[in-house]
Chain A
Amino acid sequence: MVRALRPKNLGEALKALDKERVIVLAGGTDLMVSRKRWSGLTPLFEKPVLFIDHLDALKGVESDGNCVKIGSACTFTSLLENGEIPGFFKDVLSQIASPAIRNIATIGGNICNASPAGDTLPILYALNASLVLAAVGSSRTIAIDNFITGPGETVINENELVKEIVIPKDEFNVFFYKKVGARRANSCSKLSFTGLARVVKGKIGDIRIAFGAVSPTVVRSREIEQKMKNKSVSDIEKMLPEWSNSYSLILDPIDDQRCNRRYRKKISLRILEHFLRSLN
C-alpha cells in the first residue's frame, strides 16, 4: 500500500515535499483516471501521495490594484462563485467538464497536468499569468509559458508546490473564447481559441492570442502580437493573410482519437481570422 500524506498546513506539505518524492493530489480528477485499475481496486500510484486540496493557504483569492492571486487548490466552482474573478475568465471555466467535476477539479491541477488540451491554459497564457512555486525556505515566480515545457511536462522541482497563480490586471475591451468539443458540455477540447484585445480609438493597443490543443503546449506568439499592436483596425483586413500565415507556421496539431490535424489547424485559423475581423 502506497502511503498517503494529509498535512495539516502548507508548511507541513512543503516539508513532506522536501523529504521525499511524492505525487501531489489536489482535485484528483485527472490522476484518478490515469491511475485507474479494475473497478474495486485502489488506483495505482507509484509514489506516496500528498493531499493538498484541504489546505486553506491554497484556497484563497486575493485581489489588489495590480493583480489577482488565485490559490492553486481553488476549485473551478469556487472561482466561478468568486467576485474577484473576471467574467471572461469565468466564461472559460464554465465550459470545462461538468458541474460535478468543476466542484472538485482545481486550477493548480489543471496547470500541473499540463495537457495540451488543458482548458485553463490558453487564457492564463494570454493573461501573462505567472505561478508562485513554494518550497521549504524559498519561493520563486515563473511565467506560465516557461513553466510548461511539453505534454505533462513542467519545470517544477520535486520539492516545490504551485502555491498560487498571479494574474496581472491588464485592461482589455474585447474578449473572445471559443472551445470546440465533440458535444456541448462535458467534453475535451478538440481545439480552443482565446483572444483578448484593447482597442482604443480605432487602434489595437494590446492584443493577446492563444490557441489550445493544436500543439504540444499552448501556442502564443508575442512576436506576431507585437506586429499587430498599434495597427489601425481598418487595416486588419489587409494584414489578415500575413498574420494568419504567421500563425499557420507555428500551429502544429496532431491526428488523434478526438479530431484530426487538418480540422484543428484550419478551424483554429478561421476562428483567428473571425476574431481579428471582429476588432474592426
Chain B
Amino acid sequence: MRIDFVLNGERVSIDTDPLRRLIDVLREEFYLSGVKEGCGVGECGACTILLDGRSALSCLIPVGKVQNGEIVTIEGYRKSDRYRILEKAFAESGAVQCGFCTPGFIMAAEALLRKEAIPDERTIREGISGNLCRCTGYNMIVEGIKRASRMGKGLW
C-alpha cells in the first residue's frame, strides 16, 4: 500500500506493508535511529514520537494508520527552539544518564508542554508516566522538564 504522510516537516510517500510497525519503517526506511526500541510492547516509551501533535508509541502503530498524518521524531524535533531549551534543561538537571530512554522522554515532554506550558509536578509525573527510565529514578527528569518550562517561557 502507498502511504503518504508528513515526516519531520516533509511530505513523504512510501510503498510498504501497512501492517509494518511504524518504528521499523522510521528506523529502516528513513534511518531515524533516534527512535529507540526498548520493549516493543508499549511499556517503556523509548519509541515515543508525535503523531498529529500528540505523543504516540511507534512500536504499537501499524504504518497504515499514519496515512495522511503528521509525524515528528526526535530528528525533526531537535531542529526546533523548544528542543534546544529541553536539551539544555535536561543537561543542567542531570536528567540524562545512559541516554537510551532520553529521546522518548523529550518527545513526551514536548507533548506535555504543548498541552500545559507551566505544568505542576503531578502533571509532569503523569505526563511521563509511560516512559520508563532505569538510571535516574525520574526526579532529575522531572526537574529538567520544570526547568525547561521556566527557561522556555512563551515558547510553548
Give every chain A residue within 8 A of B136 (Cβ-Cβ): none
B1-32 near A? 1/0 per residue, CB < 8 Å: 10000000000000001111100100010000
Q: In the complex, A140 Cα to B130 Cα: how many Å?
A: 37
* Cβ-defined contact, A29 with B1, below 8 A: no
A249 at the interface (CB under 8 A from B): no
Give every chain B residue within 8 A of A101 (Cβ-Cβ): 42, 57, 60, 130
A85-110 near B? 1/0 per residue, CB < 8 Å: 00000000000011111011000000
Give every chain B residue within 8 A of A39 (Cβ-Cβ): 24, 37, 40
Give every chain B residue within 8 A of A240 (Cβ-Cβ): none
* Cβ-defined contact, A185 with B130, below 8 A: yes
B147 at the interface (CB under 8 A from A): no
* Size of the chain B interface, CB-CB below 8 angstroms: 36
Pick the contact of A103: B1, B20, B55, B64 (CB < 8 A). B55
Q: In the complex, A31 Cα to B132 Cα: how many Å?
A: 22
A203 at the interface (CB under 8 A from B): no
- CB nearest neighbor in B for A29: B60
User: How would you classify the secondary structure of chain A's contact residues: helix, strand, loop or mixed?
Assistant: loop
Pick the contact of B130: A28, A32, A51, A98 (CB < 8 A). A98
Give every chain B residue within 8 A of A184 (Cβ-Cβ): 129
Interface-central residue, B18, B28, B59, by most chain A CB under 10 Å = B18
B45 at the interface (CB under 8 A from A): yes
**Which of A41-49, A191-199, A225-233 is the contact stretch?**
A41-49
Give every chain B residue within 8 A of A28 (Cβ-Cβ): 60-62, 65
* Cβ-defined contact, B57 with A99, below 8 A: no
Q: In the complex, A2 Cα to B1 Cα: how many Å?
A: 11
- CB nearest neighbor in A for B127: A99
How many whole Å from A1's CB to the nearest CB in chain B?
A: 5
- CB nearest neighbor in B for A38: B40
Pick the contact of A6: B1, B20, B61 (CB < 8 A). B1
* Cβ-defined contact, B42 with A33, below 8 A: yes
A214-248 near B? 1/0 per residue, CB < 8 Å: 00000000000000000000000000000000000
How many whole Å from A58's CB to the nearest CB in chain B?
A: 14
Give every chain B residue within 8 A of A51 (Cβ-Cβ): 18, 62, 64-65
* Cβ-defined contact, A42 with B130, below 8 A: no
* Cβ-defined contact, A49 with B62, below 8 A: yes
How many whole Å from A127's CB to the nearest CB in chain B?
A: 25
Known: A28-B60, A32-B21, A42-B21. A100 touches B37 (CB 8 A): no
Give every chain B residue within 8 A of A29 (Cβ-Cβ): 42, 57, 60
How many whole Å from A113's CB to the nearest CB in chain B?
A: 14
B37-57 near A? 1/0 per residue, CB < 8 Å: 100111101001001001111
A36 at the interface (CB under 8 A from B): yes
- CB nearest neighbor in B for A103: B54
Give every chain B residue within 8 A of A104 (Cβ-Cβ): 51, 56-57, 60-61
A77 at the interface (CB under 8 A from B): yes
Footprint of A on B, CB under 8 Å? Answer: 1, 17-21, 24, 28, 37, 40-43, 45, 48, 51, 54-57, 59-62, 64-65, 67, 108, 111-112, 126-127, 129-132
The 9 closest A-B pairs by CB, nearest first: A98-B130, A185-B129, A4-B18, A100-B55, A103-B54, A32-B60, A42-B20, A33-B41, A29-B60
14 additional A-B pairs beyond A4-B64, A28-B60, A186-B129, beta carbons within 8 Å, are: A28-B62, A32-B42, A42-B21, A42-B24, A49-B18, A99-B112, A100-B45, A100-B54, A100-B56, A100-B130, A101-B60, A103-B54, A103-B55, A185-B126
